[in-house]
Structure 1
């Protein structure tokens, strides 16, 4: 075989090999995602199944595997439909999943982040009205707070003290945190303004409430944050909002996710985007790294060039 033919054959085989490798990788498609790190493993959950929540695992945030068994099935806990926006956390030696189903909030428990997450009694938080997007924050003093969205003249973010046994909230502590009242938060001038997807962290004794605004179908769906000296507010929105949007991801509908810290102590945000430039579809799961400029209060921003989708091997 001539050198020219050998070179052509090599290039052809290389192209086929690359194509095959690419075909074995798929972008994970979970909306409202969350990542939980425990014992050298990252666990990924999100909205994507009508029957509960799947779980994906990774050791490096790059190579993901979908586990064979779901983390939560509707037969094991509260809810018949609309399983949305899970959050997993560890408390008193057990693993808990807070999630929305039937537009109510429930909390299930497991001995493992893989699940199965179950409830002995299949019931939601008892507060009346429609509620979604739960996030449970444990403060340094051990007190627990349930941040969530209540559907009342728009999607509004509320907080309430959660009882120590996680059985319910203390209704007397329920109060509104924020609602969508700024131009970037309602670019469609909707009569039902949306602020949702809360996630909370504490930096230098200041509380940071990250949230998404606009309807998730809007290409301007985006993420901002507010700060407070108290876990219950009052909250002051950052003047530089939004910090994450299609302007710095290049993807429509960038939002609704969760903060997480890597094994190296780096702060990341996992979120979803629309499936394509022309449609919402099965939303795709992505991450970005966040920077803390070290000021007090800290200014949080997206590190340029860190946006990428999460991939699963077929």
Structure 2
């Protein structure tokens, strides 16, 4: 299969340089807005031709969620595979990011945390793993705009077993802090200006700690870049004036090819069922020779 043939949102690519293989994860239910089936993955040797789908997660009978299975990310941490993924809780109807794990990159993934790790009374999504200079693991995630109007990117320390929070979340920034993001207008909130945060991902570009995240420009999906002035997770964070990608695409991540080239993966357009993954060399976006 080609990427243009795979319906997927929130793409996340893991490179296995020793095996010369790439693993593509993402929100793969045909209708992610309703009942959840699970997550599938695809495998490639050249980033052009992919085989799959491989079912990597299917919920246990007593799983805490039945709908909105979103944005799985797979991280290698202390020699094991960990999946951070968002689900809508059955008990209170709020979104939260949980942690799952597996022996193999293609699963099967099983619950590691006791439900979502994000705060129980917050609507939270799109958690990603960041390990700081002191080897402290953090979950960086979004607090949803639907709950608070001006969405935030937050960071919360995790225990070293990746089973639970190890402290209270802190706010890194609000969506409205970015000069490129504009209010998002939704029919369910008539007359209310909303600012969306979506899909954070951290990476280092030379000595700079960078964070990409998605929002909207005139109700069209877009991807922006923020840079930590201190070089640490705590920031403060400075936003670029213009988006990295403004053509109805977002929820991106950065991965490295087997040849060492950094690539941006994101989905576009932002309309179901037309979402597809596109890959863009990061150097061309950042103006690096």
**TM-score, structure 2 length as denominator?**
0.82
Match runs of 1:81-92 below 5 Å: 81-92=67-78
Once the two structures are superposed, the pairs formed by residues 69-108 of structure 1 within 5 Å of their partners are 69-75=54-60, 78-102=64-88, 103-108=95-100
Helix, strand or coil for the counterpart of 1:291?
helix
SS at match of 1:80: strand
Structure 2 segments unaligned to the other structure (5+ residues): 30-35, 89-94, 186-191
- CA 1:56–1:24: 2 relative to 1, 3 Å: closer
Matched residue, 1:40? 20
CA contact (8 A) 1:289 1:302 kept: no
Question: 1:145 and 1:237, CA in 2 relative to 1: closer, same or farther beyond 3 A?
Answer: same
Q: 1:4 corresponds to which residue? A: none
Q: Which residue in 1 is equivalent to 2:128?
A: 135
Q: Secondary structure at the match of 2:67?
A: coil
Instruction: Give the superposed CA RMSD.
Output: 2.6
- What displacement does 1:35 show? 0.5
CA shift for structure 1 position 154: 3.3
Distance 1:139 1:120, change over 3 A: closer
Say if 1:115 and 1:285 are closer, same or farther in 2 by CA, change over 3 A.
same
Give matches, 1:109-258, under 5 Å.
Answer: 109-119=101-111, 123-125=115-117, 127-128=119-120, 129-151=122-144, 152-172=148-168, 174-181=169-176, 182=178, 184-186=180-182, 188=184, 191-214=193-216, 218=219, 220-228=220-228, 229-239=231-241, 241-246=242-247, 253-258=248-253
Q: CA deviation at 1:78?
A: 4.6
Alpha-carbon distance in 1 for matches of 2:71, 2:246: 19
| Deviation readout 1:163-206 (Å, 9 max, x if unpaired) | 1110112233x211122224531265662211211000123332
> Contact 2:183/2:195 (CA < 8 Å) preserved in 1?
no
CA contact (8 A) 2:41 2:55 kept: yes
Aligned pair in 2 of structure 1 residues 118, 291: CA closer, same or farther (>3 Å)? same
Q: Higher helix fraction: Structure 1 or Structure 2?
A: 1
The structure with the greater share of residues assigned to strand is: 2
TM-score, scaled to structure 1: 0.76
User: What is the aligned residue count?
Assistant: 261
- Give the 3 Å change call, closer, same or farther, for CA 24–194 of structure 1 in structure 2: closer
**Conserved 8 A contact 2:184-2:196:** no
Aligned 8 A contact 1:244 1:254 in 2: yes
